[in-house]
A and B are shown apart, each in its own frame.
Chain A
Amino acid sequence: MSSRLRFDARVFGAFAIAVALHILGTWLIPGYSAPFAIRALLVLASLLAIASIGQTLVVIVGGIDLSIPFIIGFANVVAAQLYGGGMAFSLVCVIVALGAILIGLFNGAVSAGLGLHPLIVTLGTGTVVQGAVLLWTGGFPSGSAPPAVSAFVSIGGSTGPLPFPPLVPVFVLLAALVALVLARTPFGRRIYALGSNPRAAPLALIRPVAMWAAAFAVSAFFAAVTGVLLLGFTGSAYGAVGQPYLFQTIAAVVVGGTALVGGRGSYLGTVGGALVLTELNTLLIGLGLQPATVQAALGLVIIVLLSLYGREPAIRSTI
């Protein structure tokens, strides 16, 4: 009972810190709560939260995915290149999604099937994917996103009467769906069970390799979605556009209270974590800090936050 309360407290804590940071920002920086600034914040947080969907699943199942930034770059560049070459955008999306899913399936199946650490496997496949994309484009990708994608994520956009681009409400629905799938489907429950006790899982009719493959495929798919959305957001293709997401997805998941040892956590927490990171970044840049200093401060704040509520149990209490 107590652990459930503490668990909810972690999720609540992430949102509380996001709100506190926002209040601090509004107090310190003029215009921090201006409609445009809030829209920008929500768009950036939504993008990070979408990229972190898969990381949440992968971490709950007991793994970690370092290939996310590379797949974001892959989707970003390939989509632009194909669409720029005159292909129908729907077909482009199918190709990009299938490519990403195949990479994800490989990551999960190889890690679980051979008992390899996913850190190395995903780093290896990520490196290959990035190299292949660079080779294909010669390092200078071209092309752009269809206007519809740009409008979908544009900070200045609106959705009917809502003052946000469609990305924000669509993301809210998506987040609810992800939370529902994790909490109320056999797939979701098996993900938690496998992460909680990998040795007991096969005896409970859970297929570890299939589950890992599925979790990493989901991760790759949403990384690809993020890559395409980023194409609409920035307007042009850029292979390294995903790099900040390498550590940020992990940080969002952990700040949201999901334990890296597997079996515990929630997507709602990750959304809170994504908000915290976006608020922090915006706040620090708004205070006029240099990018290098922002980075250092971000690292420090992540450590402070986790030492407040992301602590692991002492070994004494795990016996």
Chain B
Amino acid sequence: MPEPAIETRDIVLRRGASPIDERVAAGSIVGLAGLDGHGQEAFLKTLAGLDRPVSGEVRFERHAVTGFRQAVARGIAYLPRDRRATGIFPALSVLDNFAIATLAQDVKGGFISARERRARFARYAERLSINAPDWSAPITTLSGGNQQKVLLARALALAPRLLLLNDPTRGVDVATRHVLYDVFRELAREGMTLVILSSEIEEILLLCERVLVFREHAVAARLEGADMTSAAVIEAMFGRSAA
């Protein structure tokens, strides 16, 4: 097994839950599944440094993850789940929404260079095939799928080596989904590590090499290869034995 990109050392997500000891290899795509509220989201947020585990430690490229800003500075990006509540800035333009986490990259002589910013966004707009007629219009003028792509572009602009995706295709149309799937695979080929939480099992089976199924804030099953079937995931989700 190659050097793990991120590893959890016996992290306990909730008092009384079993510890989780997990390694994710660089360049792989790992899925997180489980019934709502069974710890998969807490696990993802713990990886991002947004939540603190009850005990144990998260290490990214051999450094402990101690908080969100530190995690981002080390090369982790996180795409939040609820686009409207914690993702977009509705009053701001498409460009602003894209650049807000990486504002310093466009600064020239103390001020933001509009040209620089447009050029930077253009790269992502093409790669993610973002359909936005007016980049200066508020982001709310875009469809849900295109808003999500802008948020993904915001995360990718951080040039992360680990991308944490919290249900990235929720409320996104089918065509956009497939664009996103292709992008995720391509990113992994380029060496980025992806951890994807999804509420749709099919999506995980389609994208991931490995899936962690959560139950009661612990990993109930680790499935990969031929064992990774819809039936096996569902059984683990509901806590039935795989027999």
Contact = CB atoms under 8 A, between A and B. Distances in A.
A184 B111 contact: yes
A192 B96 contact: yes
Contacts of A203: 68, 78, 80, 86-87
Interface in A213-235: none
B96 A189 contact: yes
B210 interface: no
Interface stretch (A133-141, A194-202, A237-245): A194-202
A180 interface: yes
A199 B86 contact: yes
Contact of A263 (B89, B99, B136, B154): B89
A191 B69 CA distance: 18
B112 A184 contact: yes
A199 B134 CA distance: 26
Contacts of B89: 192-193, 196-197, 200-201, 204, 263
Nearest to B96: A189
A200 B103 contact: no
B225 interface: no
B72 interface: yes
A3 interface: yes
A190 B103 contact: yes
Contacts of B103: 186, 189-190
A185 interface: yes
A264 interface: yes
Contacts of B91: 192, 195-196, 263-264
Interface string A1-33: 101100000000000000000000000000000
B100 interface: yes
A189 B91 CA distance: 11
A3 B138 contact: yes
Nearest to A318: B90
Contact of A186 (B72, B78, B107): B107
Contact of A193 (B72, B96, B137): B96
B85 interface: yes
B80 A189 contact: no
A202 B100 CA distance: 11
Given A189-B96, A263-B89, A200 B72 contact: no
B2 interface: no
Contacts of B176: none
B187 to A, nearest CB: 20
A200 B154 contact: no
Contacts of A314: none
B112 A185 contact: yes
B141 interface: yes
Interface in A161-214: 180, 184-186, 189-190, 192-193, 195-197, 199-206
Contacts of B114: 184
A185 B111 contact: yes
A186 B112 contact: yes
B72 A4 contact: no
Interface string B115-141: 000000000000000000010111001
Contact of B100 (A4, A180, A184, A193): A193
A186 B104 contact: yes
B138 A4 contact: yes
B199 to A, nearest CB: 20
B110 A185 contact: yes
B76 to A, nearest CB: 12
B148 to A, nearest CB: 13
B5 interface: no
Contacts of A204: 89, 100-101, 154
B223 interface: no
7 contacts: A186-B112, A193-B100, A196-B91, A197-B90, A200-B87, A200-B89, A202-B68
Q: Which 7 A-B pairs give the minimum distances between C-beta atoms?
A: A186-B103, A263-B91, A196-B91, A196-B89, A184-B111, A204-B101, A204-B100
Interface of A: 1, 3-4, 180, 184-186, 189-190, 192-193, 195-197, 199-206, 263-264
Given A4-B138, A200-B88, 18 more contacts: A1-B134, A1-B141, A3-B138, A184-B112, A185-B107, A185-B112, A189-B92, A190-B100, A193-B96, A197-B86, A197-B90, A200-B86, A203-B68, A204-B89, A204-B154, A205-B100, A263-B91, A263-B92
